[in-house]
C-alpha cells in the first residue's frame, strides 16, 4: 500500500507526519485498512514491512538543519530512524539533501495502528509542503506498507 503525504507546518518532536490518502499496490490492503489523522490501522494476523520518509523545508538551509522521523505503534517507537538533512548554505545546497528511509518489520497480533512521527527537528520549518518550489527538486515524503504472509512470532 502506498501512502501519500500531507503538509505539516513546523513539525514538532513526537508530531505525526500526516498521510492524506492511500492506494493499494497489489491486493486489498488499502481497502482492509483505515487512515485517520496520519495514522494507519492495519488488519491482524500479518507481518508488515513499513517504509517511510519525509521531505523537509528549511528557512536557512543551514548545514545543521535536519528532520528525523520513526514509525510508532501507539506504544513505542519501532524500527530505524529516517533523516533528511541539508548540507550547507551554497546555492547547490538549496537544492540538495539526502533521504534515509525509516524502516520497521512488525507483526500484528491484533489490529495495529502505526504513524510516522518526528524524533528530532533542527531548523526545519515544514514537512511535505508544496508551498515552495523546492519540492520540485527534493521530491515528497512517502509511506509504503508491505503485508507479508508468515507464522506468528
Tens of pLDDT, residues 39-88: 999 999 999 999 999 988 887 777 778 899 999 999 999 999 998 887 65
Q: Count CB-CB contacts under 10 A for residue 110.
A: 7
pTM value?
0.87
Confidence (pLDDT) at 87: 67
> Does residue 27 fall inside a structural domain?
yes
> Does residue 43 fall inside a structural domain?
yes
- What's the domain range around 87? 2-148
Residue range 90-114: average pLDDT? Answer: 77
> Does residue 96 fall inside a structural domain?
yes
Residue range 26-33: average pLDDT? Answer: 90
> Does residue 108 fall inside a structural domain?
yes
Beta strands in 75-136 (DSSP E): 77-86, 97-100, 102-108, 112-122, 124-127
Q: How many domains does the chain have?
A: 1
Q: Given the C-alpha cell 527538486, which residue does it identify?
A: 137
Task: Give the Cα separation of 15 and 46 in Å (integer).
Answer: 27
> Does residue 15 fall inside a structural domain?
yes
Are 120 and 102 in contact by the 8 Å Cβ rule? The answer is no
Question: Residue 64's domain is classified under what CATH number?
Answer: 2.60.120.40
> Does residue 153 fall inside a structural domain?
no
Would you place residue 96 in the very low, low, confident or very high pLDDT band (cuts 50, 70, 90)? very low
Amino acid at each position: 500500500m502506498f501512502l501519500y503525504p500531507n503538509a505539516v507546518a513546523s513539525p514538532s518532536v513526537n508530531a505525526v507526519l500526516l498521510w492524506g490518502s492511500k492506494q493499494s499496490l497489489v491486493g486489498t490492503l488499502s481497502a482492509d485498512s483505515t487512515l485517520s489523522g496520519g495514522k494507519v490501522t492495519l488488519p491482524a494476523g500479518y507481518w508488515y514491512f513499513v517504509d517511510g520518509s519525509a521531505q523537509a523545508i528549511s528557512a536557512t538551509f543551514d548545514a545543521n538543519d535536519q528532520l528525523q522521523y520513526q514509525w510508532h505503534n501507539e506504544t513505542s517507537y519501532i524500527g530505524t530512524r529516517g533523516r533528511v538533512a541539508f548540507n550547507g548554505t551554497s546555492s547547490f545546497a538549496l537544492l540538495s539533501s539526502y533521504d534515509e528511509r525509516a524502516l520497521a518489520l512488525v507483526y500484528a497480533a491484533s489490529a495495529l495502528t502505526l504513524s510516522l512521527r518526528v524524533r528530532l527537528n533542527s531548523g526545519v520549518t515544514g514537512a511535505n509542503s508544496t508551498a515552495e518550489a523546492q519540492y520540485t527538486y527534493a521530491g515528497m515524503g512517502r509511506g509504503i506498507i508491505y503485508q507479508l504472509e508468515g507464522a506468528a512470532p
